[in-house]
Structure 1
Amino acid sequence: MTCYYANLDHEALLHVQGPDALSFLQGQVTCDTRSLRADLALPGACCTVQGRVVFDFLLGQLEADHLVLRMRRDILASSAALLAKYIVFSKAQLSSGDNGWRVLAVWGPQAVTLLQGIFGAAPAGRFASCHGDGFLLVQTDAAGQQFECYLQDEVVGDMYRQLQSAAQSGSESDWQALQLAAGVARIETATSGEYVPQMLNYDLTGHISFRKGCYTGQEVVARLHYRGKPKRRLYLARIDADQLPDGRLPAPGSPLYKDGTSQAAGNVINSVATADGPVLLLVTATTDSLDGTLQLLSTQGPELHISAVPYAVPENK
């Protein structure tokens, strides 16, 4: 069976529980939580009052009053602290500990068959989800070959062992490379609070609802959507590993320079070393970046090979 799994140690779950869980998040995040269903997860983001993205997430429903937001582990504590400032008047509570839950990825042409055999069900459709006692599964691609699995150890320990025995062991880097290639930016500590959603293409990847009511930062995000044009967009980039300074992956937020000019034209958002050699990056850069060259870290730095993301980016937006 051609199928892989990996523990996603850099991902974590923020639990929101209580009768006001959905309504509380509705006033804080960019997606419309009224669209959340037991069989449909939602990508989204949480912004500052200035409209800068603090964290991105994938929102799923374990029970009617029990929601989980999957986000980067390094910003879990700060994200929970931010939401805690606003939840005090809601009938809901936050829990940012692991609580015995783990985040895994399963991918490959036979992923659906594998998940159906172990859990008795599998999602069908991008961001479709299904859940049972101690697990939540979310399909993250359109082809039905990439899935995130949120598992509670004490409930599904045996299912996890079945997964280990039936699938080949992959790496978290393998999974991250798939997500970067899909053009989905992830916020980490160094980039938290730095960019409006449109600079990360979140208006094109389903992270934002422009039909919902107010949320923190909504005025800035909506004004740019209806009256402005982003000065930066998200792009794919590649560089040979042997060209990296000191042989290390560029840190999130690392500056990029265009055609030798001294003013930074963009920044690295995410990077990962791929199995076949090149380093894959997502960068936010000026909208003319496809027309020139971008250097990493300095005007004399190695050149990045820039390409478009695999979805449409309107020229006038």
Structure 2
Amino acid sequence: MLTLSSSPTLYPLSDRGVISLTGDDRTKYLQGQVTCDVALLNSGEATLGGHCDSKGRLWGSFWLANLREELLLITNASLLERQLPELKKFAVFAKTEVVDATLQWQVYGLAGEGLSYWLDQQVTGDNLWQGGVVIPVAAEHALLVLPKDSPAPELPIGSEQAWRGLMIQAGIPELHAEHQGEYIPQMLNLQALDGISFTKGCYMGQETVARAKYRGANKKVMYILSGTASAPISVNQDLELQLGENWRRAGTVLNVYQDGEQCLITSVLNKDLEADTVFRIKGQDDSRFSLQTLPYSLTE
């Protein structure tokens, strides 16, 4: 439904929030707060990750990048109001400063055929570029984070909505404020995208995350669904599944892309669903959705 552009395309993203960590203890501090292994990131490297409460429920998912003297978390801006105070809570005991740096940065999506070749011509081996960083997120897809006053590359411009669709197709989770505190990291498939380290030691919510892996405690996963709807769909709308002549609530919309009546959504649903299950948006009786194959293998 949504095809990759025939050449590298730039997608300006207005809904990204950026958290900055600086100071001597930035790596050590963040290591004890998030699911990914911060200490393994060399300069210019990046990873997916999650930030949990003490019960293992997500305050947010993010991309984390190492900019030599600074760590940047790129996330959905709607999460910051609740997430940032939680991330800063224990920073007073460490040599690190945790701040909302959204206004200091501009964030873009990059995608299209030939993107890898184009990046090879533009960027040094450590992915640092013009004071910012390139974050690979999927094959021929990347995020570009640049200082506010740095010129953007001269490329064709794509829409923010199209980028959202590309990320849904790639199975990249996107958490919004409406779902903070609802899901453990495995429910967003973070383990399948190298966003969880099970060897780095303790961090906030680690016991719950480990229990889900080693005891099979997690019963839900994030699915991609494709279908049609004649009315707009929004994050957190109820999703229903068909049982004979009846419909039963199955979950809520996590993220959505719409082009006319054609739609892609993600939703956290029970992992034992039949592949041919039929879904609809509650209140939109003519809408229909079906499960799509994830572009990666799921593990606990």
Answer yes or no: same fold by TM over 0.5. yes
Q: Percent same amino acid among aligned pairs?
A: 27
Higher strand share: 2
Partner of 1:235: 223
Partner of 1:248: 232
Alpha-carbon distance, 1:288 to partner = 2.5
Correspondence for 1:294 among 279, 285, 288: 279
Partner of 2:53: 48
Correspondence for 1:284 among 251, 259, 268: 268
Partner of 1:126: none
Matched position secondary structure for 2:192:
coil
| Count of aligned pairs between the two proteins | 292
Matched position secondary structure for 1:13:
strand
Supply the RMSD in Å over aligned alpha carbons.
Answer: 2.2
Amino acid at match of 1:296: I
Alpha-carbon distance, 1:262 to partner = 6.5
Quick one: structure 1 residues 116 and 278, their matched pair in 2 at CA, closer, same or farther if it must change by over 3 Å?
same
Matched position secondary structure for 1:302:
strand
Amino acid at match of 1:101: W
Partner of 1:181: 169
Correspondence for 1:82 among 79, 86, 94: 86
CA contact (8 A) 1:112 1:122 kept: no
Alpha-carbon distance, 1:229 to partner = 4.0
1:216 aligns with 2:216: no
Structure 1 residue runs without a partner (length 5+): 124-128
TM-score by length of 2: 0.90
Correspondence for 1:108 among 90, 108, 112: 112
Of stretches 280-289 and 257-266 in structure 1, the one that deviates more from structure 2 is 257-266
CA contact (8 A) 2:229 2:288 kept: no
Partner of 1:226: 214
Amino acid at match of 2:131: G
Amino acid at match of 2:258: A
Matched position secondary structure for 1:190:
helix
TM-score by length of 1: 0.85
Amino acid at match of 1:147: A
Amino acid at match of 1:258: L
Correspondence for 1:201 among 171, 189, 193: 189
Partner of 2:143: 148
Partner of 1:171: 159
Alignment partners' CA distance in 2, 1:99 and 1:255: 34
Structure 2 residue runs without a partner (length 5+): 1-5
